[in-house]
Amino acid sequence: MRILLAEDQSMVRGALAALLSIKGNYEITEAKDGDEALTLLKTQEFDLLLTDIEMPGRTGLELATWLKDQQSKIKVIILTTFGRSGYIKRALEAGVGGFLLKDAPTDELQHAIEQIMNGRRIIDPELAMMAIGEQDLLNDKERRALRLAADGKSTAEIASSLFIAEGTARNYLSEAINKLNASNRIDAARIAKQKGWL
């Protein structure tokens, strides 16, 4: 089984790759961030994407959404430290097969891989219940603008990164601030991140 492991923390990535190599008949390819993972997904064949959520470049959720848009048969498992309701809800919408916390036992990960490759979905019941709760208020354009604002980018830099006019970038940020009842863009980014919407 060919697994693409996308994780920006090199020690965690190395440990996971070593562990999976011992546990099963897996061929592991490592990606240090979301952008490298996307390049590999476009150029190589994989059966499974095992990815973190929060990474430089594209997030694990963006990778899962891209695969869904491509109607790819590659299965996706998200491994994360954060069990936030917004993340889980977006993962489910992106067709992710598994959503596991990084502190889960290693046997649980191997079991999840087997189950997901057989077409099942593995999500911790408590996490699934969390996902039913809150509604994500942001659309993708607002989310992307807010993520760049959280990185300290100016409105001009956000507009340039998203290939939109400065006024449009301002509108996206303003909408996000209003929806989240925040005092400014940094406050909006903080609230959205806390809820797992970024």
Q: How many CA atoms lie within 13 A of 46 on its CB side?
A: 27
DSSP states of 61-78: HHHHHHHHHTT---EEEE
Closest to 101 (Cα-Cα) out of 90, 116, 88? 88
**pLDDT exceeds 70 at position 125:** no
Q: Does domain 2-133 have CATH number 3.40.50.2300?
A: yes
Closest to 196 (Cα-Cα) out of 121, 143, 123, 126? 143
pLDDT tens digits, 81-93: 877 777 888 888 8
Q: What is the mean pLDDT of the chain?
A: 89
- Bigger pLDDT: 83 vs 60: 60
Closest to 2 (Cα-Cα) out of 47, 38, 44, 32? 47
- Do 102 and 112 meet the contact criterion of CB atoms below 8 Å apart? no
Give the integer Cα–Cα distance in Å for 130 and 125.
9
Q: Does domain 140-195 have CATH number 3.30.1330.20?
A: no
The whole-number pLDDT of residue 7 equals 96
3-state secondary structure of 97: coil
Cα radius of gyration rounded to whole Å, the chain: 17
**pLDDT exceeds 80 at position 20:** yes
Extract the tokens encoding 147: 């993520």
The single-letter DSSP state of residue 84 is -
Domain boundaries, the chain: 2-133, 140-195
Q: Look up residue 14 and give its amino acid.
A: G
136 band by pLDDT with thresholds 50, 70 and 90: confident
DSSP states of 115-169: HHHTT--EE-HHHHHHHHHPPP---HHHHHHHHHHHTT--HHHHHHHHTS-HHHH
**pLDDT exceeds 70 at position 31:** yes
The model's pTM: 0.69
Q: Is the dihedral of CA 28, 31, 34, 38 positive or negative?
A: negative
